[in-house]
Structure 1
Amino acid sequence: MKPVKNTTILYMDDDGDDIELLRDAFHSLDPAFRLLEASNGEEGLQKLHALKQNGALPCLIVLDLNMPKLGGRETLRRIKEDGFLSKIPVVVFSTSDSEKDKGHFQREAVEYITKPVEYALFLQAAKRLLNYCESQVQM
């Protein structure tokens, strides 16, 4: 059987404009990618557990820091506690440019990308995110 590239990314963010921007950027770079969205960490974890039961985990989790109900730090902690979910790469994608935030996630071995305000830079960030999925294949 020929390997298939995993093209599903889960993006947890409560900002609809940022979700739409990332969806547009992914579509312009590679329309094969499918962006699932969750408006907070609690909803994102529910989607991850449903995907896990279906055997269809995403190739990447993109995580905002400041969300209602369950923020990025706690969501990441819960992901890392789950043996299956902890294998999925996570990238924090936040408007925060705080060195404290960056340092926290660096210690967690999680890439931290500050959301760019210019669309050209946003496209570059989207390309970095897609690179996490490029080398992953499913049998």
Structure 2
Amino acid sequence: MSNRPKIFLFADDDPEDQEILEDAIKAIDPEIKLHMVHNGQQAIEYLESCSDPDLPCFIILDYKMPVFNAVEVLERIHYHPRLHPIPKVVWSTSNQPEHVKLCLQKGALEYFVKPMQMSELAEIARRMLDLCENALDKRPQ
């Protein structure tokens, strides 16, 4: 396993949604650092400004955000080859099949519907951590 810090980039315009997912993730792994942004443009600007060692190991995108939505962020990430290996997921209140399909086509590994139950939230957080661990294990040291 890599010794690099586990950094998640979390883009969501709803502070409450950010807080509940952050709490669920940190309950499993308190060492994870979450970098929060509130729209897709901030997500892209953050990613473009990171040096390679400081890139996040995982990107969480709300589907519907101001400026750029998740699909638009995924499209912009496509133009940055150094960002391709970072696992990206979408987390949304929308479960519309066309949203899911488009996000997966644009590079998201998974599409999570924001849960109503805390037990479901813990499951989603665990899955996100597993995806991050898998990506870290594959990164060159």
TM normalised by structure 1 equals: 0.91
Distance in 2, matches of 1:132 and 1:103, equals 19
Gaps of 5+ in 1: none
Which residue of structure 1 aligns with residue 55 of structure 2? 57
Gaps of 5+ in 2: none
Aligned residue in 2 for 1:88: 86
TM-superposed CA distance for 1:106, in Å, is: 2.9
Q: TM-score, normalization: structure 2?
A: 0.89
Q: Whose relative contact order is higher, 1 or 2, with alpha carbons under 8 Å and at least 6 apart?
A: 1
Kept in 2: contact 1:59–1:132 (CA 8 A): no
Give the fraction of aligned pairs with identical amino acids, expressed as a percent: 32
Q: State the SS of the aligned residue for 1:58.
A: coil
Residue of 47, 64, 75 corresponding to 1:77: 75
Q: Is the 8 A contact 2:40 2:68 kept in 1?
A: yes
Q: Which amino acid aligns with 2:62?
A: D
- Residue type at the aligned position of 2:23: D
Change (3 A) 1:5 1:132: farther
- Give the SS at the match of 1:23: helix
1:42-76: CA deviation from partner (whole Å, max 9, x where unpaired) = 0111111121x363111110011111111111111
